[in-house]
Structure 1
Amino acid sequence: MVRRVLPLPSQPRPRPRPDLLRPLTSREPVSISVVIANHNGGPLLAACLDSVRRLLPEAEVLVIDNASDDNSREATRRDFPDVRLVELSENRGFASANNLGCVESRGDILILLNSDAELLEPGLAACIERLEREPTLAAVSPRLIGTDGLPQPNCLPGPSMGRALRRVFLWEPREGSVDPRRAVVWLPATCLVVRRDALESVGGLFDERFYQYWEDADLCARLIRQGWLLSVCDDSTVLHHGRASDLGPRSISSPQRLLWYAWGRLQWFRKHRTRFEYLLILGIDVLFAGRLFVRSLFGERHRVERARASAILQAVRLTMRNESPPVRTGDGSR
Structure 2
Amino acid sequence: MRSPTSTEQSASRPVTVSIVSHGQLAMIVPLLEQLDAHCAGSIERVLLTHNIPEPDLLASRQWGFALERIHNPAPLGFGANHNAAFGRCASAWYLVLNPDIRLDADVLAPLVARAEPDAGLLAPRILEPGRTEPEQHRRIITPREILTRRKPGYPIPAVPDWIPGLFMLLRSAAYREIGGFDAKRYFMYGEDFDICARLRLAGWRIQIAEDLRARHEAQRASRRSWRHLWWHVTSLLKVWTSGPFWRLRGGGGQA
TM-score, normalised to structure 1, is 0.65
Deviation by residue 1:90-149 (Cα, 9 ceiling, x = unmatched): 211221111111111211111111111122213322211222xx1111112211113424
Which of 33, 39, 56 is the equivalent residue of 1:56?
39
Query: SS state of the match for residue 212, structure 1?
Result: coil
Q: Aligned partner of 1:181: which letter?
A: A
Could you tell me which runs of 5 or more consecutive residues in structure 2 were left unpaired when the two chains were aligned.
Answer: 250-255
Query: SS state of the match for residue 3, structure 2?
Result: coil
Q: Aligned partner of 1:201: which letter?
A: E
Q: Aligned partner of 2:206: which letter?
A: L
Query: SS state of the match for residue 83, structure 1?
Result: strand
Query: SS state of the match for residue 104, structure 1?
Result: coil
The answer to whether residue 110 in structure 2 is matched with residue 110 in structure 1 is: no
Which has the greater radius of gyration?
1
Distance in 1 (CA, whole Å) between partners of 2:215 and 2:166 is 10
Distance in 2 (CA, whole Å) between partners of 1:236 and 1:56 is 13
Distance in 1 (CA, whole Å) between partners of 2:136 and 2:167 is 9
Query: SS state of the match for residue 75, structure 1?
Result: coil
Distance in 2 (CA, whole Å) between partners of 1:212 and 1:45 is 19
Query: SS state of the match for residue 110, structure 1?
Result: strand
Distance in 1 (CA, whole Å) between partners of 2:5 and 2:38 is 21
Q: Is contact 2:139–2:156 with CA below 8 Å preserved after alignment? A: no
* 2:230 aligned residue: 259
Shift of 1:239: 1.6
Shift of 1:187: 1.2
* 1:239 aligned residue: 215
Q: Is contact 1:144–1:154 with CA below 8 Å preserved after alignment? A: no
Cα-Cα RMSD: 2.7
Q: Is contact 1:207–1:219 with CA below 8 Å preserved after alignment? A: no
Distance in 2 (CA, whole Å) between partners of 1:92 and 1:223 is 23
Query: SS state of the match for residue 83, structure 2?
Result: helix
The answer to whether residue 171 in structure 2 is matched with residue 195 in structure 1 is: yes
Query: Higher helix share goes to which structure?
Result: 1
The structure-2 alpha-carbon separation of the partners of 1:211 and 1:80, relative to structure 1 and needing over 3 Å to count, comes to farther
Query: SS state of the match for residue 78, structure 1?
Result: coil
**Which ranges of 4 or more aligned residues in structure 1 deviate by more than 4 Å?**
none
Shift of 1:178: 7.1
Distance in 2 (CA, whole Å) between partners of 1:68 and 1:145 is 31
The structure-2 alpha-carbon separation of the partners of 1:47 and 1:55, relative to structure 1 and needing over 3 Å to count, comes to same
Which residues of 2 match residues 1-334 of structure 1 at below 5 A? 21-24=2-5, 27-29=9-11, 31-58=14-41, 59=43, 60-69=45-54, 71=55, 74-80=56-62, 82-131=66-115, 134-153=116-135, 155-160=137-142, 162-163=144-145, 167=147, 172-174=148-150, 179=156, 181-182=158-159, 184-245=160-221, 252-272=223-243, 273=245
**Percent identity of paired positions between Structure 1 and Structure 2:** 20
Q: Is contact 1:95–1:215 with CA below 8 Å preserved after alignment? A: yes
Q: Is contact 2:21–2:49 with CA below 8 Å preserved after alignment? A: yes
Distance in 2 (CA, whole Å) between partners of 1:93 and 1:214 is 11
Distance in 2 (CA, whole Å) between partners of 1:55 and 1:270 is 41
Distance in 1 (CA, whole Å) between partners of 2:224 and 2:190 is 18
Query: SS state of the match for residue 79, structure 1?
Result: coil
